Amino acid sequence: MDTRGKVLFVDDEINILKSIRRGFLHAPFEVVTAESARDGLRILEESCVDIVVTDYRMPDIDGFQFLKMVKERYPEVNRVILSGFIEKSVAVESLTRGLASTYILKPWLNDDVEEKIDHILSMRKALKSKKLLGIINQIENLPHLDNLYQEFMEAVNEDKSMDTISKIIQKDLSIATKVLQVANSAFYGLKNCTSIKQAAVTLGLDTLQDILLTISIINTMKWNVTQMNRLQEIFLNAFIMNSHLPQLHKFTPEAHFYRTFPSVGLTYDVGKVLLLQYFPDRYASVQKYAQLRSEKDFYECEVDLGFHEVTHQEVGAFFLDYWNLPQIFIETALFHHTPESSSSQYRDITSITHLIDALIYELRMEKDPDPAVYEHPHIPAEVIQETILSIKKKLTKSIFSDQQK
């Protein structure tokens, strides 16, 4: 049978592994199993695995430790955590920490697991499609995300002190200066922060994390003045998205599992940033086409112009994956115009991103969004109405106070 990929299941209970083997007997992927993290690592060493699914509670090396090792040694392998139903918060934490791309709760349903694995495999396929790689390969040097951000996130996740966290940012003076510039911009209400630590305390770590991610992304590429204006526009959208996404996501049933909400709003449209940098002609042509068709958004115009499967969604997701950001970032970027294709796990986030993106787009075109069109099963209508007003206000502000140079 032609299999779409190989999935390694790790669990210290043999009966679980056996039930999984028989449960996926006819599944379109190959199943291999290991009774411990050590065995799992051996299998990863010896053969080519696409996805590992590991139990959380195991003797010796537990699921978290194992996933961390896999992430370091085999970053290309997708990671899934399998944990007890009552440990759901643990499962969600593994997502926000970027250790796992999704979770499965015990007791599980075979169909559910199959759907999740299938989704990951097809996503991997989409991000490795010949058509997309053909585009990516035209970029001479792939932009590399400064590992300062990863280091910072690691420290935040491990609850390190403000001092330690501030010191990480201060390692790079140019980044530290820019963090302060943004922290003191009109967008954040001109706080007059003079040190990173002060910025961390007055703005909060979540905001600092947002700023750092933004700057890291901008820093991966070089910008000229004309591009800078477009870039500002994209990032203002991103900042607006990032401030409204958690506010609306609050209303979804899963919201309380998120101890901190990751800054996925910032990168949902990162594909546009990359297109602007590396394919400015294509970007301009799509924009020109869009200007004549106000009923269509950027994505629809890209599809019209024959960029299906290589739109800014795929390009953005490719790089977020390449930069090793958590799955939630990749899903949001990859499906923010097509939320129905995202995995059920992230459907709420992608659909809300889609909603906010559409609002921003309409408001930028100076249209009045019809509240009746913007409905969401979990979000009250008046909240959406408030969001519209708030976005309208924010569109007039600037994020980069004096950074146009």
Partner 1 sequence: MVNSNLHTYVRSERSAVSFDFNSMYRDFFHASPEMILISSPDMRILDINRSGLMLLGYDSKEEFLSLLKMGKIYQNPKNMVKWKQIMEEKGFVKEFEATLVKKNGQLIAAHQTSCTIQDTEGGVSAYVSVIRDVTEIMKHKMQVHKMNVDLIDSLYTLRRNQPKLIQQEKLASIGQLAAGIAHELNNPIGFISSNFTSLKSYIRIIKEYIHYFETETSQMAEGSASSVRQLQEHMNDFKENEKLHYIFHDIDDLVNESMEGIQRITEIVRSLRNFSRIDNESELEQYDINDALESTLTVAKNEIKYVAEVEKEYSHVPLIECVGGEINQVLLNIIINAAQSLKSQKREQKGRIGLKTRADDEYVYCEISDDGPGIPKEIIGKIYDPFFTTKEAGKGTGLGLSISYDIIVHKHGGDLTVESRVEKGTTFTIKLPIEWRTGKRN
Write out the residues near partner 1 by the rule CB under 8 A: 13, 15-16, 18-20, 22-23, 25-26, 57-59, 84-86, 106-111
Q: Which lies closer to partner 1 via its Cβ, residue 20 or residue 360?
A: 20
Question: Do 365 and 290 touch, CB atoms closer than 8 A?
Answer: no
| Complex with partner 1: residue 84 or 280, whichever CB lies closer | 84
Rg (CA), the chain: 22
Instruction: Kindly tell me which of 16 and 310 has the beta carbon lying closer to partner 1.
Output: 16
Among residues 272, 263, 361, the alpha carbon closest in space to that of 314 is found at 272
CB 50 within 8 A of CB 76: no
Nearest distance, CB of residue 188 and partner 1, angstroms: 34
Joined together, the tokens standing for residue 289 give 């086409």
Least Å distance between CB 228 and partner 1? 50
Q: How far is the CB of 11 from partner 1 (least distance, A)?
A: 8
* Residue 14 vs 133, nearer CB to partner 1: 14
Nearer to partner 1 among residue 57 and residue 191 (C-beta): 57
Q: Which two tokens stand for residue 233?
A: 């526009």
Q: Which two tokens stand for residue 279?
A: 């394919």
Closest approach, Cβ 54 to partner 1, in A, equals 14
Residues 6+ apart with CB under 8 A from 328: 95, 96, 262, 264, 346, 349
Shortest Cβ 14–partner 1 spacing (Å): 9
Question: Which residue lies nearer to partner 1 by CB, 18 or 259?
Answer: 18
Shortest approach of partner 1 to residue 125 CB, angstroms? Answer: 25
Query: How far does the chain reach from its first CA to its final CA, in angstroms?
Result: 58
Q: How far is the CB of 153 from partner 1 (least distance, A)?
A: 25
239 class by beta-carbon count within 10 Å (0-12 exposed, 13-18 middle, 19+ buried): buried
CB of 103 or CB of 323, closer to partner 1: 103
Q: Please, are residues 44 and 18 in contact by the beta-carbon 8 Å criterion?
A: no
Shortest spacing between CB 65 and partner 1, in angstroms: 12
Beta pairing partners, 104:
82
Cα gap 146→29, rounded to integer Å: 35
Residue of 58, 34, 64, 54 lying closest to 104 (CA atoms): 54
- Can you tell me the distance from the alpha carbon of 101 to that of 94, in angstroms, rounded to the nearest whole number? 8
Least spacing, CB of residue 85 vs partner 1, in Å:
6
Q: CB of 80 within 8 A of CB of 108?
A: no
Beta bridge partners of 54: 10, 81
For partner 1, the closer CB: 106 or 230 = 106
- Within 10 Å of residue 42's Cβ, how many Cβ atoms? 12
Give residue 78's Cα distance to chain centre.
14
Nearer to partner 1, 22 or 131 (CB): 22
The residue behind tokens 């209303």 is 251
